[in-house]
Chain A
């Protein structure tokens, strides 16, 4: 009798356990599936980040590699903030960021409008506009270096054809930054255009139709309808380019090497030179973390702006 009473209770327990196990397995499955990717990320991303953060508080150089680096607290950060080369690099980077992004945005918006229209040959011309963006940065840098050569470059040759004096593009402090911006604009405007085109094509047609019926001019439509409605996309595109230009390295390194006289010495080139030419990795890590901090601030500001803009747009749509 006792046995017959015992079995149902045991069976109940077993069933409950099985159900709990299944539930647990169901819950754990996503984590198990993600584990290899997360593990890989931890190894190749998180560990180096933490390691370099620790490095930024040490005096690690090639010279004390054998004896071991000492912990020096915030000394590297303090030294960076007192380093004239750092402030020069920050200034150069900001000038490059703002001027490149502004020109690329203005041109990109125009190109996006053209690409959004229906015209003959759109099928092959639109992909053609994207060609510069598809070029490798190293190739772009090398080609522009040849094109901007004072004597043999095609740009000065074209200037000569229209009786304009040659420009010392890469050898003059005054013209080196415009040369770098010119190259970046050629390279990346199509990317900006592509993002804005996607935004333009997603806009509803009704506001434009009613504006035309109300007799609004093209400029009024652009200013009062297109740009406000496109704001979230513009913010993403501009932020993307700002972050991208902030960490630019390869293309400028190849075109000017940071010269002449540090006129194009960006933060990334400055950090690279310190870290991988002088092998002062502690100091270079501090520079890199200051860069990360600046980018983080930029990203937070941009995310907030985007969210505010999206909220505003929802309100407008509700009205």
Chain B
């Protein structure tokens, strides 16, 4: 019996010792939402571990409650994660709350920062992570939209790919068809998103910015209800009410619903996030349309006789929680994954590189479905992001509610936008961003 105890104790000590040796550094714990980005990170994990001897532990969190989980956990001050993947629209409020670590101490420390660190390569998304002159995150996954269109249906109708909003409208009218003569529309010219959550904003913003819409003016006052804003929302709502070229229940549609409508052949065109390219080009996921669709820039607007190309977008970033106990290792990781080497891997795995050198790398462009990174590089300069304020999240919700109400028809576009602008003014004033009236 005594021998058994000795053997057991010896084994336990040996196991503990070997575990300590094997672990070396404590693992870097990364918060990531489920989906393609998580899959991508899982592929990168063994490469990073082999290269730097630093173990990664990726915590997968569901997409819907991601913001709530991230925010509540960060506010608790618990050192749960070392790196967080998040939308830059959330960053200002988190920075204001003091729960995100500035990257400046690491960037300026020659013992920590890579001597080859090139911030200019990250410039397309760096504005969205910079507050009061301090960088709080390194950008990745810079998203924008394309016009997805069915080549076969456009050919049948004898139409070209629309380049302006007028051409787009004419095409949607021509492509909306009752193909079997039962009195019901079988194919809609397009589909839009107006679900009663923030997603209504993320669907509409591409129209809004493309029309030339302005979120906040130079005095930080809402400008969404200016002439152009009203024009854009009227166009958007009219697609449902006046022209009836979208499914009637788009008031409950988000990103996935639009994708399904296109995948099932119910919509001939859509302005959709570029993330849809991979899914639609995959014939196992989209057998009806995978070889029949094309992508193009979102239609242009005419301004003083000139065509102007603008669209909306979103920007994601890696950042470090202030409560992390492993900040230097965390910085080294986010510096590497956004460098040319890391971003190339990220892109070849199906991600979107915000790094400009990678974005124009012929190998990366050739590896993207439909070689869409070439198009991305083309449309990226015209990308607009929501304003960078501590109340952005709330402003987006207010804007989304206006879009939703106009599309479902409970309010006229101008009325909805006027009310939204008034509420935005209150929120901005409450946050001390504009003087109270």
* Chain A proximity of B407: nearest CB distance (Å): 8
B197→A278 contact, CB < 8 A: no
Q: Nearest chain-B residue to A171 (Cβ)?
A: B249
> Which B residues touch A265, using CB under 8 A?
196
Q: Nearest chain-A residue to B264 (Cβ)?
A: A152
> Which A residues touch B408, using CB under 8 A?
171-173, 259-261
Interface residue B431 (Cβ < 8 Å from any Cβ of A): yes
Q: A66-B98, A276-B68 are in contact. Are A259 and B266 (CB under 8 A)?
A: no
Q: Which of B317-344 contact A (CB under 8 A)?
A: none
Residue from B99, B266, B397 in contact with A278 in the complex, judged by beta carbons closer than 8 Å: B397
Task: Name the segment of A23-31, A162-170, A234-242 touching the other chain.
Answer: A162-170
B261→A151 contact, CB < 8 A: yes
Interface residue B393 (Cβ < 8 Å from any Cβ of A): yes
Residue from A66, A168, A262, A273 in contact with B249 in the complex, judged by beta carbons closer than 8 Å: A168
Interface residue A119 (Cβ < 8 Å from any Cβ of B): no
Q: A259-B195, A277-B397, A278-B394 are in contact. Are A63 and B97 (CB under 8 A)?
A: yes
> Which A residues touch B298, using CB under 8 A?
none
* Chain B proximity of A301: nearest CB distance (Å): 33
Residue from B75, B196, B397 in contact with A261 in the complex, judged by beta carbons closer than 8 Å: B196
Q: A259-B195, A278-B393 are in contact. Are A172 and B251 (CB under 8 A)?
A: yes
Which of B72, B75, B96, B249 gathers most chain A CB within 10 Å?
B249
Q: Which of A267-317 contact B (CB under 8 A)?
A: 273, 276-279
> Which A residues touch B397, using CB under 8 A?
273, 277-278
Interface residue B371 (Cβ < 8 Å from any Cβ of A): no
Interface residue B274 (Cβ < 8 Å from any Cβ of A): no
Interface residue A53 (Cβ < 8 Å from any Cβ of B): no
Interface residue B184 (Cβ < 8 Å from any Cβ of A): yes
* Chain A proximity of B133: nearest CB distance (Å): 19
Interface residue B405 (Cβ < 8 Å from any Cβ of A): yes
A-B contacts at CB below 8 angstroms, number:
102
> Which A residues touch B410, using CB under 8 A?
173, 260-261
> Which B residues touch A171, using CB under 8 A?
248-253, 408
A169→B249 contact, CB < 8 A: yes
Interface residue A150 (Cβ < 8 Å from any Cβ of B): yes
Residue from B75, B197, B252, B264 in contact with A65 in the complex, judged by beta carbons closer than 8 Å: B75
Interface residue A62 (Cβ < 8 Å from any Cβ of B): yes
B404→A151 contact, CB < 8 A: no
Interface residue A178 (Cβ < 8 Å from any Cβ of B): no
> Which A residues touch B391, using CB under 8 A?
63
| A65→B266 CA distance, assembly (Å) | 48
Interface residue B379 (Cβ < 8 Å from any Cβ of A): no
* Chain A proximity of B33: nearest CB distance (Å): 16
Which of A151, A170, A279 gathers most chain B CB within 10 Å?
A151
* Chain A proximity of B419: nearest CB distance (Å): 11
| A200→B250 CA distance, assembly (Å) | 46
| A279→B97 CA distance, assembly (Å) | 11
* Chain B proximity of A279: nearest CB distance (Å): 6
Interface residue B247 (Cβ < 8 Å from any Cβ of A): yes
Interface residue A257 (Cβ < 8 Å from any Cβ of B): yes
> Which A residues touch B393, using CB under 8 A?
277-278
> Which B residues touch A152, using CB under 8 A?
260, 264, 266
Q: Which of B185-211 contact A (CB under 8 A)?
A: 195-198
> Which A residues touch B270, using CB under 8 A?
none
* Chain B proximity of A306: nearest CB distance (Å): 37
* Chain B proximity of A218: nearest CB distance (Å): 44
> Which A residues touch B197, using CB under 8 A?
257-259
> Which B residues touch A169, using CB under 8 A?
249
| A151→B252 CA distance, assembly (Å) | 13
A151→B195 contact, CB < 8 A: no
Q: A151-B247, A152-B260 are in contact. Are A256 and B97 (CB under 8 A)?
A: no
Interface residue B390 (Cβ < 8 Å from any Cβ of A): yes
Interface residue B275 (Cβ < 8 Å from any Cβ of A): no
Interface residue A226 (Cβ < 8 Å from any Cβ of B): no
B405→A261 contact, CB < 8 A: yes
| A137→B157 CA distance, assembly (Å) | 45
> Which B residues touch A150, using CB under 8 A?
247-249
A278-B394, A279-B93 known; 4 new pairs, CB 8 Å cut-off, are: A65-B96, A150-B247, A259-B251, A261-B405
25 A-B pairs (CB sep. < 8 Å): A62-B93, A62-B94, A62-B390, A63-B97, A63-B391, A65-B96, A145-B252, A150-B248, A151-B261, A151-B266, A152-B266, A168-B249, A170-B249, A171-B248, A171-B251, A256-B196, A256-B252, A257-B197, A259-B195, A260-B196, A261-B411, A273-B397, A277-B394, A278-B393, A278-B397
